[in-house]
């Protein structure tokens, strides 16, 4: 390639860029036949340095437009162009799973799709199917609140998202935010607990077996290294690692391990929450740190304290909670023996015991009940109703109720036999009925028993009576057990022609019956009857069962002269109800060193388990007190904490927890231990002005403070300029003198100075004197007493302009052009600082204008602070002058003295 350039040799021409690569490329490039052939074959003709690359330039947001529509992200635009695979297959999969899978299974399926299949729009998938993934959480909330009208909420969706994120962390160790989804709202402690639970998912027994199996296989060098590491890891003070609560099934054997470390260890003991030793029996295991419990029941649930004592005397304690859960147990049931086609049947599967929540499932002949049979199932807390209307032969078979929770399954089966319906037409028509065969044929065709007979009668009177169907039960209640406060359905529904009327009666002894007016107030019915309402078919909906509702109920269906009656018993089981024993409210106040008692009384069904917590932790009195549980009158159980000598560590929130098979309750006590407050700490004076100062201190911790007292006094002039850290004279140790000021501050009077430092309070001290040294001390008080005072703190107020004018001012004429001025300083208490000097001001004052002539045009001169005289020179002879004197300090000038007038002497020349 040849390159040439034409240059301008004119020195006055503007400079030319001699390194213009683009211009050089354009004027010096030519292609020969060889290069043309080389280019045809697509080979590079020459190298370029630097390389020139054509870049595509697009307008902002232009790429995100598809068919004129702008999408929010480039990914959405690619999906619209069909460049990415959409989520239709995942939509169909989750929709199908919602029909036959539980919410737990759907959440697991969704987590697998997120972590392994990477859907394009994971957030949209969640929004479309979040109801099916949260269905079990909704059910739990309805059961817990006894309210079947509760719907999905953001809190429920958040709980489901937390469960999905936990699964994603287990599968791929990634949170939901990595898959394009919004993270659930969870606190840092929740995340920490999740990670801790993952780390604790191991078996110490299996690990010990692995060690025992592999240590003998080590060679000598490996065994030496192993022994050194094991010895160094085991040395140190005793420590017990945190362990989550253990959830076990009732009537099983339990082994509790104490995860301790340290060396050397003297002994490991087990205690109950109240400090009593654990009774392990004569066949207790001798293995240290292992507690074996045989066939546990709910009575042994609670906290177990593992106490590890080292040879050095150091002790470590950790509470391991044991929760005992019961599998479900249901009451046997049977279908009525006489059940005919066209009639109805219902059966109740009642829960006898078992931890909630319980899930009821019905099967027919070992398979799920087909929807074509139109069998209705109603599930409540403690039972499930199976209702079959319009019976036919297909309804016959074996029905199984299956109740399950997280700790077991119980089932019971009953056989339903459906018989062919047989009707005696003469019983329906009466003795004058004729042509029975004709009537039977019509009855089979219409199956309604509501038609007129047109056949010829045997008597002379035509038969036109209407066929009446006697009442029969559609749905009726069985003997039922319910928890107090739970919603309850008392079914009573009948059919017939004409439609039967339903009435209710109540008896507490099964003999004396009284009519029930549900939804109305009446003295003859249980006091809670007003909480019930009657549905259109006669069934009673009880919004909240109460102990007053327990008793016998009789439901009566009447149709003309036919009557059906059904009697059943309602057993209302009461969950624990706690009340405070010994009088007093939620807050209890005791003086440090005095005794304290907290008692709660529990009423309810038997087998009530009570335990206490202190500040959300298991109660641990460590010998300072005891917990006594005893029976009281009326079937109540009283649990009482007794503390002989209270200290600051005993203050806080105490909760009495009670539970039985039918619910739980808790009661809160707040114990305040009163003592004399401690001395206020870190007292400072961060800001000082001429007449006020701001004092701050760290708020007293521990004991409650009702108010603070600030004492301050002005120091003598002899102490004014001494160092702040210099000791005060012994005479100043007496703070009961008249010159001491006391400032009492309640909590509402304090200044909250959080910007200075967290947890600090303060106050402003006013009416101080300028340029004065003060000593200040503080104390805290409450109704028990006062704390000692702090050591005196010294500070000096700032200067202020003098408040007084010089006095005894005299002006003498000494020469024709000179006046002599003398004065005395202002009173000492008006200096407000250190005087730096005096300012003398003068001006001509004609007698015509009087003595009030303005001094605006006057002249000034200065004098030192030690001076009391000054001479004014350069004046006019025989002229009247006004003279003022004022003092000044570092803060400013004080007021001037009143003007003094004097004529200068006449000049001899005049």
Contacts of residue 522, defined as CB under 8 A and 6 or more positions apart, other chains included, come to 529
Fold of 329-416: Immunoglobulin-like (2.60.40)
The pLDDT score that the predictor gives to residue 342 is 83
| Cα 765 → chain centroid | 42
Contact between residue 601 and residue 578 where contact means Cβ atoms under 8 Å apart = yes
Q: Where do you find CATH 2.60.40.10 in the chain?
A: 234-325, 329-416, 574-674, 681-797, 810-903
Q: How many CB atoms lie within 10 A of CB 770?
A: 21
pTM exceeding the 0.85 threshold for the entire prediction: no
Cα(413)–Cα(494) distance, integer angstroms: 26
Cα(496)–Cα(782) distance, integer angstroms: 79
Per-state percent for the chain, helix, strand, coil, to nearest 5: 20, 35, 45
Contact between residue 197 and residue 170 where contact means Cβ atoms under 8 Å apart = no
Place of tokens 């350039």: 5
Contacts of residue 776, defined as CB under 8 A and 6 or more positions apart, other chains included, come to 685, 695, 710, 711, 712, 765, 792, 793, 794, 795
Cα(357)–Cα(104) distance, integer angstroms: 15
Homologous superfamily in CATH for domain 810-903? Immunoglobulins (2.60.40.10)
Cα(497)–Cα(502) distance, integer angstroms: 14
Retrieve residue 254's tokens.
């339990």
Fold of 234-325: Immunoglobulin-like (2.60.40)
> Helices 122-133 and 103-116, interaxial angle, to 10°?
170
CATH number for the domain whose boundaries are 574-674: 2.60.40.10
Retrieve residue 812's tokens.
């003498």
| Cα 870 → chain centroid | 80
Handedness of CA 457, 458, 462, 465 (dihedral sign): negative
- For 802-823, letters b (16+ CB in 10 Å) and e give bebbbeebebebeebbbbebeb
The pLDDT score that the predictor gives to residue 443 is 45
- Segment (H or E) for 74: helix 74-81
Cα(833)–Cα(820) distance, integer angstroms: 28
In the sheet that holds 596-603, the strands lie side by side as: 577-581, 596-603, 637-643, 625-631
Contact between residue 475 and residue 539 where contact means Cβ atoms under 8 Å apart = yes
Q: For the purposes of burial, counting CB atoms within 10 Å of the CB of 233, is it exposed (0-12), middle (13-18) or buried (19 or more)? A: exposed
Euclidean distance between the first and the last CA atom of the chain, given in angstroms as a whole number: 111
Q: Calculate ∠ Cα 529-534-537, nearest 5°.
A: 150
Please determine, looking at this structure, whether the domain spanning 681-797 carries the CATH number 2.40.50.220: no
| Cα 189 → chain centroid | 11
Tell me the CA distances in angstroms from 68 to 60, 83, 124, 315, one per residue in order.
14, 17, 23, 75
The pLDDT score that the predictor gives to residue 723 is 58
Contact between residue 501 and residue 558 where contact means Cβ atoms under 8 Å apart = yes
Give mean pLDDT in consecutive 10-residue pieces for the chain, a chain of 910 residues: 56 63 66 73 66 62 76 76 77 88 91 88 91 91 78 90 89 85 68 49 65 83 81 66 81 86 81 80 63 86 87 79 89 84 87 86 88 85 85 89 88 87 48 43 44 41 53 84 82 87 87 77 41 81 84 88 87 86 80 89 84 87 80 83 87 90 87 86 90 87 79 77 58 81 84 62 90 92 88 91 94 92 93 92 78 64 90 91 94 93 83
Cα(895)–Cα(886) distance, integer angstroms: 6
The pLDDT score that the predictor gives to residue 572 is 86
The pLDDT score that the predictor gives to residue 897 is 93
Tell me the CA distances in angstroms from 651 to 305, 648, 679, 702, one per residue in order.
22, 6, 20, 9
The pLDDT score that the predictor gives to residue 100 is 84
């Amino acid at each position: 390639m040849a390159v040439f350039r034409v240059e301008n040799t004119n020195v006055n021409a503007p400079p030319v860029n001699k390194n213009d690569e683009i211009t050089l490329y354009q004027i010096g490039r030519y292609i020969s036949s060889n290069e043309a052939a080389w280019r045809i074959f697509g080979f590079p003709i020459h190298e370029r340095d630097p390389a020139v690359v054509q870049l595509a330039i697009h307008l902002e947001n232009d790429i995100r437009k598809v068919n004129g529509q702008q999408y929010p992200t480039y990914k959405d635009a690619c999906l619209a162009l069909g460049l990415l695979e959409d989520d239709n297959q995942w939509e169909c999969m989750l929709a199908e799973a919602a029909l036959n899978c539980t919410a737990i299974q759907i959440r697991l399926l969704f987590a697998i799709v997120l972590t392994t299949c990477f859907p394009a729009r994971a957030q949209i998938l969640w929004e479309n199917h979040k109801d099916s993934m949260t269905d079990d959480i909704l059910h739990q909330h309805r059961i817990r609140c006894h309210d079947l009208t509760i719907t999905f909420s953001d809190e429920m969706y958040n709980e489901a998202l937390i469960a999905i994120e936990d699964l994603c962390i287990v599968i791929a160790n990634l949170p939901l935010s990595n898959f394009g989804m919004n993270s659930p709202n969870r606190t840092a402690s929740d995340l920490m607990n999740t990670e801790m639970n993952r780390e604790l998912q191991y078996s110490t027994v299996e690990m010990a077996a692995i060690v025992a199996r592999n240590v003998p296989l080590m060679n000598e060098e490996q065994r030496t290294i192993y022994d050194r590491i094991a010895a160094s890891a085991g040395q140190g003070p005793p420590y017990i690692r945190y362990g989550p609560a253990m959830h076990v099934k009732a009537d099983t054997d339990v082994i509790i391990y104490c995860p301790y470390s340290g060396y050397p260890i003297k002994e490991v003991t087990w205690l109950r929450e109240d400090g009593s030793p654990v009774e392990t029996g004569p066949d207790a295991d001798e293995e240290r740190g292992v507690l074996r419990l045989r066939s546990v029941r709910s009575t042994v649930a609670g906290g177990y304290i593992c106490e590890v004592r080292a040879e050095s005397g150091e002790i470590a304690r950790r509470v391991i909670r044991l929760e005992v859960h019961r599998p479900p147990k249901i009451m046997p049931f049977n279908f009525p023996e006489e059940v005919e086609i066209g009639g109805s049947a219902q059966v109740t599967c009642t829960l006898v015991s078992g931890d909630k929540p319980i899930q009821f499932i019905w099967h027919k002949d070992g398979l799920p009940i087909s929807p074509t049979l139109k069998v209705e199932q109603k599930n409540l807390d403690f039972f499930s109703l199976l209702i079959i209307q319009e019976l036919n032969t297909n309804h016959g078979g074996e029905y199984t109720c299956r109740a399950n929770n997280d700790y077991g399954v119980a089932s019971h089966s009953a056989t339903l036999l459906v018989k062919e319906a047989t009707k005696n037409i003469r019983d329906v028509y009466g003795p004058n009925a004729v042509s029975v065969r004709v009537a039977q044929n019509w009855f089979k065709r219409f199956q309604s028993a509501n038609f007129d007979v047109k056949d010829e009668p045997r008597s002379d009177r035509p038969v036109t009576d209407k066929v009446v169907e006697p009442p029969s039960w559609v749905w009726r209640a069985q003997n039922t057990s319910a928890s107090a406060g739970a919603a309850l359905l008392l079914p009573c529904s009948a059919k017939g022609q004409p439609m039967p009327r339903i009435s209710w009666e109540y008896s507490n002894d099964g003999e004396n019956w009284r009519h029930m007016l549900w939804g109305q107030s009446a003295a003859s019915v249980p006091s809670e009857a007003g909480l019930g309402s009657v549905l259109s078919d006669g069934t009673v909906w009880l919004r909240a069962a109460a102990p007053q509702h327990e008793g016998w109920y009789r439901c009566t269906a009447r149709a003309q002269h036919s009557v059906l009656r059904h009697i059943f018993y309602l057993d209302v089981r009461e969950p624990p109800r706690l009340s405070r024993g010994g009088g007093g409210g939620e807050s209890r106040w005791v003086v440090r060193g005095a005794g304290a008692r907290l008692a709660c009384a529990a009423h309810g069904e038997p087998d009530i388990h009570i335990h206490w917590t202190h500040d959300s932790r298991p109660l641990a009195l460590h010998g300072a007190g005891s917990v006594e549980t005893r029976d009281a009158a009326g079937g109540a159980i009283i649990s009482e904490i007794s503390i002989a000598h209270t200290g600051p560590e005993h203050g806080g929130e105490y909760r009495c927890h009670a539970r039985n098979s039918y619910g739980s309750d808790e009661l809160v006590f707040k114990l305040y231990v009163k003592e004399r407050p401690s001395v206020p700490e870190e007292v400072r004076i961060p800001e000082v002005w001429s007449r006020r100062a701001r004092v701050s201190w760290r708020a007293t911790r521990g004991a409650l403070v009702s108010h603070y007292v600030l004492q301050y006094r002005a120091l003598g002039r002899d102490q004014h300029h001494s160092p702040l850290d210099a000791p005060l004279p012994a005479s100043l140790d007496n703070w009961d003198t008249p010159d001491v000021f006391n400032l009492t501050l309640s909590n509402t009077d304090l200044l909250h100075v959080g910007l200075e430092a967290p947890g600090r309070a303060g106050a402003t001290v006013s009416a101080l004197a300028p340029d004065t040294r003060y000593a200040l001390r503080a104390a805290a008080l409450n109704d028990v007493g006062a704390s000692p005072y702090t050591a005196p703190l010294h500070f000096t107020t700032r200067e202020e302009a003098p408040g007084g004018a010089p006095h005894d001012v005299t002006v003498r004429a000494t020469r024709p052009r000179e006046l002599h001025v003398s004065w005395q300083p202002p009173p000492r208490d008006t200096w407000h600082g250190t005087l730096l000097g005096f300012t003398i001001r003068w001006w001509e004052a004609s007698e015509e204008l009087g003595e009030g002539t303005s001094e605006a045009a006057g002249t000034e001169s200065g004098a030192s602070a030690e001076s009391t005289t000054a001479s004014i020179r350069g004046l006019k002879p025989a002229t009247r002058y006004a003279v003022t004197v004022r003092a000044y300090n570092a803060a400013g000038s004080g007021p001037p003295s009143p003007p003094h007038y004097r004529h200068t002497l006449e000049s001899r020349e005049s």
